[in-house]
Structure 1
Amino acid sequence: MTQANGYAATAADAPLAPFHFERRALREHDVAIDILYCGVCHSDLHTARGDWAGTIYPSLPGHEIVGRVSEVHPSVTRYKAGDIVAVGCMVDSCRECRECTAGFEQHCLNGATFTYNSPDRQTGDITLGGYSDHIVVREEFVLRVPDSLDPAAAAPLLCAGITTWSPLSRFKIGPGMKVGVAGLGGLGHMGVKFAAAMGAEVVMITTSPEKGEDARRLGAHDVLISTDKAAMAEARSSFDFILNTIPVGHDLHPYLGLLRREGVMIIVGAVEPLPPVHGGALIMGDKMVGGSLIGGIPATQEMLDFCGEKGVVADIEIIPIQQINEAWERMQKSDVKYRFVIDMASLREERAAA
């Protein structure tokens, strides 16, 4: 086993604070990774604060990880020491069920092992995430980061990126299609970038007119203000696809009205109850509403390779880990464009000074 350092919450009402723990010794197929950067996700805050049932304390979040391989088990064939790699929301699954063999490990029928707050499949120990100096992960759940990508700006791709890439890729978004992205935040800004890079006509759908200029900078071709009844009426039945990243429950009907015949809206943001939908809003026009949960390992590697080719990364603000509690407060206020990323050099410097 190795000694590890990170920041964890010891209770739902406790701030994140320095935490010392042990990482497992290398098992067969394991890769040890020195963490360079870790993105900050709303899921981190919700888990540590106990907003979702089942948080086990101490809770050490972080599932947008980019680092450098420090050591591999002799059985490992995919990576070697020195490689720049990434780890996302999962670190294991059964690898045998129909979902895993199809590349949808996030839907493992026997339960995926998530990067934090999840029981290890062999020991039952609760996983501890990327707000730490290193991590040990089975090689099948380690991803290769293209050399062309800035490793810090690539970190949010491991959750915000794959969450938006997965439905856009699944529905084959491309030239000749009109795509709406509802909500401009950590997810929405990646949705705009991806849809534009795929060649679609991209429209940012927002309640905030002041976000229009930034949406265009990110690649949107137009902006639709959802509270402008005249503009919404004019845009009726014109969208092929809407990526809905709005993070709270909301009325879907105004967005359904924007879809053309056989149009699709995929929800990736609202992990909470939604108001009822009138069946007629779906039946009239053969429209579809669905959801999407992150993405499997093959899709995540495909996304990273696409980002390497197209130069797509997140807009980030880098912080030292000592500012994580302030960053969480700002994130709750949407006071970041568009993703915080922790520079783990700050953690190593803190330990060296101790």
Structure 2
Amino acid sequence: MSTTAKAYGTNAAELPLVPLSIERREPTPHDVEIEILYCGVCHSDLHTARNEWKGTIYPCVPGHEIVGRITKVGDHVKKFKVGELAAVGCMVDSCRECEECKQGYEQYCENGFTGTYNAPDKHLNAHTFGGYSQSVVVDEDFVLHVPENLDLAGVAPLLCAGITTYSPLRHWNVGPGKRVGVVGIGGLGHMAIKLAHAMGAYVVVFTTSESKKEDAKRLGADEVVLSNNVEQMQQSQKLDFILDAVSAEHDINAYLHHLKHDGNLTIVGAPENPLPVAVFNLILGRKSFSGSLIGGIAETQEMLDFCGRHDITADIELINMQDINDAYERMLKGDVKYRFVIDMASLKN
């Protein structure tokens, strides 16, 4: 059984996003149906819609930063009730049987997690559609509780940008007494600054833009270094941990050099081409260079609860659904501080 829902998506890589009608399954015994109130706009949405990562299935409805209110629950649902706020991130299922899933690392599922969009939909024998739509139906095990005190529109980007930065910060034990670097101030970087500051770390932000210095301090930076200023880079003290949120090609060695002995640099940005690493930058100091992908469901809930306690949301620009194509073009130019969020009420117009 299925119902139709209004959505925005595209039928080909070279075409704009337009109104579509999509199928949503009727809730099964363990499902939750959510009326989507807000959906964040992630750079992954653009990459997928335009088939830049290849493998996009059309029609494509992006969106994996979903916040809404529960309108229906299956007979066996225990974690949620009708009327409650709820959120959905980048995953809507996983195999649940491999070692990674059993340990709460569904994002590293050995059989591949089911993405919120552009992934096989075992229920409708089709592919999944994302949050640029009026509703979504998801298994309760992949649905999250939303702190009541937070601005809902600002919560949406936490489901991707928030957890993508929170997970490595937690994994590398960022906290009081630690000097932490953040490379880049964008959708990911601005969340990393807020989270690291709230965790009690001394936060050093690296940026190429003089104009972003004051904004970095507003977000929680203790120190701002212009990475294209040789003198400032040489004077900056060593760091315990660096989170690199830059998606463009850049000199990773300049930042590895800033790590203390046994320090780590984790990259969450995704440059299109490989980044050359000078091995002696790692050997001399037993430093490590790693990557990180979102977070598991339990850790994502932990992140939301942390944000609730510290009153953290993303800095956003709220747009109507009808403005999504313009938003994509602006996003390519970096013309947003720091995340677009769609007011899904506009989809009714």
Distance 2:57 2:174 in 1: 39
TM-score by length of 2: 0.98
Q: Residue 239 of structure 1 aligns with which residue?
A: 239
Q: Residue 337 of structure 2 aligns with which residue?
A: 337
- Shift of residue 122 of structure 1? 4.3
Among all aligned residue pairs of Structure 1 and Structure 2, give the percentage whose two residues are the same amino acid.
Answer: 58
The one-letter code matched in structure 2 to 1:81 is V
Which deviates the most, 269-278 or 205-214? 269-278
Q: Residue 188 of structure 1 aligns with which residue?
A: 189
Q: Residue 154 of structure 1 aligns with which residue?
A: 155
Distance 1:123 1:102 in 2: 28
Number of aligned residue pairs: give it: 348
Q: Residue 251 of structure 1 aligns with which residue?
A: 251
Q: Residue 318 of structure 1 aligns with which residue?
A: 318
Secondary structure (helix, strand or coil) at the match of 2:48 reads helix
- Shift of residue 322 of structure 1? 0.6
- Shift of residue 250 of structure 1? 2.0
Secondary structure (helix, strand or coil) at the match of 2:212 reads helix
- Shift of residue 186 of structure 1? 0.3
Distance 2:274 2:346 in 1: 40
Q: Residue 89 of structure 1 aligns with which residue?
A: 90
Distance 1:244 1:3 in 2: 41
Whether 1:228 and 2:245 are equivalent positions in the alignment is no
Q: Residue 49 of structure 2 aligns with which residue?
A: 48
Q: Residue 285 of structure 2 aligns with which residue?
A: 285
Alpha carbons 2:197, 2:220 under 8 Å: kept: yes
The one-letter code matched in structure 2 to 1:21 is I
Unaligned runs of 5+ residues in structure 2 are none
Distance 1:167 1:297 in 2: 15
Alpha carbons 2:316, 2:338 under 8 Å: kept: yes
- Shift of residue 123 of structure 1? 4.3
- Shift of residue 77 of structure 1? 0.5
CA-to-aligned-CA distance 1:64-97 (integer Å, 9 cap, x gap): 0000000001011000100100000000001111
Q: Residue 268 of structure 1 aligns with which residue?
A: 268
Unaligned runs of 5+ residues in structure 1 are none
Q: Residue 133 of structure 1 aligns with which residue?
A: 134
Runs of 4+ deviating beyond 3 Å: 121-124
Q: Residue 24 of structure 1 aligns with which residue?
A: 25
Alpha carbons 2:182, 2:242 under 8 Å: kept: yes
CA-to-aligned-CA distance 1:42-66 (integer Å, 9 cap, x gap): 0000000010010011110000000
TM-score by length of 1: 0.97
CA-to-aligned-CA distance 1:137-177 (integer Å, 9 cap, x gap): 00000000011111110000000000000000111100111
Q: Residue 177 of structure 1 aligns with which residue?
A: 178
Distance 2:65 2:330 in 1: 19
The one-letter code matched in structure 2 to 1:141 is F
Alpha carbons 1:149, 1:313 under 8 Å: kept: yes
Alpha carbons 2:182, 2:205 under 8 Å: kept: yes
Alpha carbons 2:246, 2:271 under 8 Å: kept: no
Secondary structure (helix, strand or coil) at the match of 1:290 reads strand
CA-to-aligned-CA distance 1:305-353 (integer Å, 9 cap, x gap): 00000001000110110111111111111111000100011012x1xxx
CA-to-aligned-CA distance 1:239-272 (integer Å, 9 cap, x gap): 1110000012322110011111111100000253
The one-letter code matched in structure 2 to 1:317 is E
Cα RMSD over matched residues? 0.9
Distance 2:248 2:118 in 1: 23
Inter-CA distance 7–328: structure 2 relative to 1 (3 Å threshold): same
Alpha carbons 1:250, 1:274 under 8 Å: kept: no
Alpha carbons 1:26, 1:72 under 8 Å: kept: yes
